[in-house]
Amino acid sequence: MEHLIESFRQFIKQKGLKYTPEREEILREILAIEDHFDVETLYLLLKGKNSKISKASIYRTIPLLIEVGYIQEVYKQGGHSHYEVTLYKQPHLHFICMKCGQVREALDHRLNDLIKEFEAKSGYKFLTYHLEIFGLCPYCREVK
Amino acid sequence: MEHLIESFRQFIKQKGLKYTPEREEILREILAIEDHFDVETLYLLLKGKNSKISKASIYRTIPLLIEVGYIQEVYKQGGHSHYEVTLYKQPHLHFICMKCGQVREALDHRLNDLIKEFEAKSGYKFLTYHLEIFGLCPYCREVK
DNA sequence: ATTATATTGAAACTTATTCTCAATATTAAA
DNA sequence: TTTAATATTGAGAATAAGTTTCAATATAAT
């Protein structure tokens, strides 16, 4: 964990920015989540620990954490963005129920294989991907 | 084209909704676009033809057109959604260069097959999907 | 220490999208 | 063809995510 903090510090310095306690606090909280989150949740978690971090700082820090590769925006729901910590995860896909909002993750090596093949053919260097599938979950498809 | 209008009419009726001139007008305009669009563009196109369609009606019709499978939301840009007409297109994926922002589309039937298989196994009813691959395009991967 | 500059929190702002509501249109049934 | 039930409309108000502003403060290089 500490090496992730250190890497982030180096990244910030390398960009000519200033390393602040607020940025570190936000990063530590996100690393502790190890899962999906949105700005509101993160803000309330920090607030619950008597942190004085503002939402503005969270909004300002997120793009940095995406750039350094620690988190990704994975989908929009309820009118706002949801992120996930990508550090300990394989690339995967999301099923999102358009009615109840339930999100399910899945992994499939054939998808990863296919994507590797696209990479070889395309000449791109792939860094990450998102596969989001929208529809109705088994429960909601029954209910009218 | 008329059969698409007719299918939409049947879809609307089947849902117990009412088939209105406004809904048809919006559909006709979107079918004429055959490409990417956003709500503002669509609204101005209609307005330019002396249509009195409101933005509210456009926002209310879009989810129906997504549900019937005629359009998809493909990305957010400039803080708002962009859609594309999917009728004449196979579902496809986007390569997005993280450096220059270039977007390339690609098709692969195996991806569609895989997604159909996920659908069968998951119990979901899939309405649309979005595969975005982020990385560096052939040009940007060379430039340090 | 000094200085230049980046960052902060709070609040104001922007703007895409949703909601409200009274008037009107659609549809099924009498 | 009337009637009645209900869905839809446009207009504008409301909502809320995300961005920007700004004065005070913190960082970090010299």
Nearest CA-CA partner of A83 in A29, A8, A135: A29
Question: For the structural domain made of B93-142, what CATH number should be given?
Answer: 3.30.1490.190
CA torsion sign for A40, A6, A126, B136 is positive
In the CATH hierarchy, which top-level class contains the domain A90-144? Answer: alpha beta
- Do domains B2-85 and B93-142 share one topology? The answer is no
Per-residue pLDDT of A16-29, as tens digits, reads 999 999 999 999 99
Per-residue pLDDT of A21-78, as tens digits, reads 999 999 999 999 988 999 999 999 999 999 999 999 999 999 999 989 899 888 888 8
Report for A6-10, B78-82, B120-124: range of highest mean pLDDT: A6-10
Q: Any idea which residue has 């979950």 for tokens?
A: A137
Nearest CA-CA partner of B92 in B113, B114, B112: B112
Give every CB contact of residue B81 below 8 A, 6+ residues apart in sequence: B38, B39, B73, B75
A90 and A127 Cβ atoms separated by less than 8 Å: no
What are the backbone angles phi and psi of residue B81, rounded to the nearest 5°? -80, 145
B66 and B73 Cβ atoms separated by less than 8 Å: yes
Check residue A29 and give its pLDDT: 97
Sheet hosting strand A71-77, strand order edge to edge: A36-38, A80-85, A71-77
Nearest CA-CA partner of B93 in B72, B63, B79, B78: B72
Q: B89 or B39, which is more confident? A: B39
Max Cα distance, chain B (Å) = 58
A129 and A92 Cβ atoms separated by less than 8 Å: no
Q: Where are the alpha helices (DSSP H) in B34-81?
A: 39-48, 55-67
Nearest CB partner across the interface for B137, out of A97, A124, A130:
A124
Q: What is the pTM of this model?
A: 0.80
CATH domain A1-88 topology: Arc Repressor Mutant, subunit A (1.10.10)
Per-residue pLDDT of B58-111, as tens digits, reads 999 999 999 898 998 887 777 899 898 987 777 788 887 766 667 788 888 888
A81 touches strand D (CB under 7 A): yes
Residue B93: its chain A contacts at CB < 8 A? Answer: 118
Check residue B101 and give its pLDDT: 64
Domain locations along chain B: 2-85, 93-142
Question: For the structural domain made of B2-85, what CATH number should be given?
Answer: 1.10.10.10
Nucleotide lying nearest to A12, CA to C1' measure: C6
- Whole-number CA gyration radius for chain A: 17
Nearest CA-CA partner of A85 in A65, A113, A111: A65
CA of A133, closest CA in chain B: separation in Å? Answer: 4
Q: How many CB atoms lie within 10 A of CB B68?
A: 17
